[in-house]
Amino acid sequence: MAFDAFYMHCVLQELRNLGECRVEKIHQPARDTVILLLKTREGRERLLLGLNPTAPRLHLTATSPENPAQPPMFCMLLRKHLTGARLTGITQLPMERCARLTFACIDEMGDPVEKTLVVELMGRTCNLYLLSPEGRILDCLRRIGLDETTHRPALPGMYYQNPEPVTKADPMALAKEDYVNLLTQPGADLLSHRLMDTLGGLSPLICREAALFAGGSVDARIEALPVEETTKKLMLFFRENLAHPVPCYTCAPDGAPKQFAFCPIRQYGDCREENTFSGLLDHFYAQRDKRDSLRQKSQAMRKTVQNLCTRLTRKLAIQEQELLETYDRERLRQLGDIVTANIHRIQKGQTDVEAEDFYDENMPVISIALSPTLSPQQNAAKFYKDYTRMKNAEKELTKQLSFGQAELEYLQSVLDELNRAQSDPELEAIRRELQAGGYVKADSAKKMKAAKVAPLRLESTDGFPIYVGRNNQQNDELTFRLARKDDLWLHAQKVHGSHVIIACNSKTPPDDTVTQAAQLAAFHSEAGVGQNIPVDITPVRQVKKLPGAKPGMVIYHSYRTVIVNPYKDIVVDPLNAEKKDS
């Protein structure tokens, strides 16, 4: 993520373009988040100030987060001083993520005064200051005491001190000679590192983009680059992107936003553009916060299922070892026969007996351990009894291993469902599935009927409906209740994933439709982040469910396999398309 000084400059310019605006309301939905509701000539806008050190940001937002019943003290202080104030000035420290918002206010005596809100978004030192007309700190979001290891204490009543100025060079002020010196003087070997060490206000992401543009690789080494050509490309990159910034972002394979910047991002492949810089941040963090919220809500279920998988894996390992031991049971029967043949030579109380092993062609004399508390006949019977026990154990352990492996497969499929869940109703459906299986206790406090989640429905480019199951129970319902026998069933091969159905309506779907459904099956599977995923295709009539099988577990024998790349939506991919018969 690249919320650097130049990206902040773009956001502040959008804020200036709002024109005259007043503060109507102030909210603090979280400890490190403050929202100013601004009334402009065009309507109302929300200005979000995010002071979380892991995700510092400042932008206009369309979201309305829930506010606490009792506003924090800092929020009430901001309301006291800034409600009704007019935003008169927006400035930024050079090459620093520090903005000053100046407001025209009315003090307690009814006199006009100027107060300043300082937003510092510099990593671990993120803070929000409210300053008096004299520059004293009225209060700040994070107070820093005098005894703490910092050069800038922050307490009410103290004068505010600006952050130390950035000593690096301004990319917009460099001439050709400066870039030549940057490339020829001693420093880091990689171009991206040299740019990061020399230029101010830029994030590592932008420096890598500049290295990719000028040197052909994010890891381009300066010693291998021609100075004249690299200088021209660096000047072109910064001149174009700093003078004409564009809000761009790139996505992960699952569609989630991955990086954003004020210029095209080429190092991760294709990138997308947003209309505004604030809109890009709003979309980016809304998606990220949604995923984080779902991850937190599913954490208890995830931990329960992971613990069950761990215990079951350990249990299966023990059972497999016990099963291996049963394979040597034939020797017990042989020892029983040898003891029986030599029973006349054994007295009660003996601890061993030496006898010929007539099961070996060389007839060696072996020593057989006996129990001194048992009679000769009982010692012989014990070998036969142990043999029978091992024989029965093999049958039972084989059955238990089969059940255990099936249960482990099911629990791993539930983990995959949790990883792919996109909404609260999907999580609730998975919770009900685990409750029905006895893995999670039902919450007696929640008696409300949960909304039923419908399968994901898409339509191929040829007009055929394609359905995707969202969880194991829905997979069963989709395959064995909703689908017709002549519909096509698809599933990623040998991995956990969703059942995908092509509703054929007694027609033969074209190859493009089958390919698009296979791409969806690959995406909605455990292998959804990979490439060249094998997907099995068979008519629904060929898919069977064994009696007592867990939800979503099926078998099929007659099928064909296609190799596709995963896609979240219906996409025509020429590399995935199958050849049509002429």
The b-or-e profile of 203-238 (16+ CB within 10 A means b, else e) is bebbbbbbbbbbbeebebebeebeeeebbebbbebb
16-38 average pLDDT score = 92
Per-residue model confidence (pLDDT) at position 438: 86
Contact indicator for 487, 540 with CB cutoff of 8 Å: yes
CA distance 390 to 383: 11
Which domains are assigned to the chain? 5-140 (2.30.310.10), 304-417 (no CATH), 456-564 (no CATH)
Q: Is the pLDDT of residue 91 over 70?
A: yes
Q: What is the pLDDT of residues 166-211, one digit of tens each?
A: 999 999 889 999 999 999 988 899 999 999 999 999 999 999 999 9
- Predicted confidence band of residue 573 (pLDDT cuts 50, 70, 90): low
Per-residue model confidence (pLDDT) at position 219: 92
- Predicted confidence band of residue 580 (pLDDT cuts 50, 70, 90): very low
The distance of Cα 96 from the centroid of its chain, to the nearest Å, equals 31
User: Which residue from 467, 468, 458, 473 is spatially nearest to 428, judged by alpha carbons?
Assistant: 473
Q: Is the pLDDT of residue 42 over 80?
A: yes
Per-residue model confidence (pLDDT) at position 466: 95
Per-residue model confidence (pLDDT) at position 268: 86
Burial of 275 (0-12, 13-18, 19+ CB in 10 A): exposed
Contact indicator for 336, 439 with CB cutoff of 8 Å: no
Task: Give the rounded percent of residues in the chain with a pLDDT score beyond 90.
Answer: 61
Per-residue model confidence (pLDDT) at position 297: 81
Q: What is the pLDDT of residues 209-227, one digit of tens each?
A: 999 999 999 999 999 999 9
Q: Is the pLDDT of residue 282 over 60?
A: yes
Task: Give the rounded percent of residues in the chain with a pLDDT score beyond 70.
Answer: 96
Contacts of 412 (CB under 8 A, 6+ apart): 309, 496
Contact indicator for 48, 61 with CB cutoff of 8 Å: yes
Per-residue model confidence (pLDDT) at position 579: 47
- HSE-up of 579 (CA within 13 Å, CB side)? 2
Of the two residues 476 and 444, the one the predictor is more confident about is: 476
CA distance 492 to 559: 12
Q: Is the pLDDT of residue 581 over 50?
A: no
Contact indicator for 174, 193 with CB cutoff of 8 Å: no
Q: Is the pLDDT of residue 148 over 90?
A: no
- Predicted confidence band of residue 252 (pLDDT cuts 50, 70, 90): confident
| Range from 247-261, 452-466, 534-548 carrying the lowest mean pLDDT | 247-261
369-392 average pLDDT score = 91
Q: Is the pLDDT of residue 439 over 90?
A: no
Q: Is the pLDDT of residue 449 over 90?
A: no
Mean residue pLDDT of the chain comes to 89
Conformation bin of residue 133: beta by default, left when phi > 0, alpha when psi is -120 to 50: alpha
Give the pair of three-digit tokens for residue 14.
């959008």
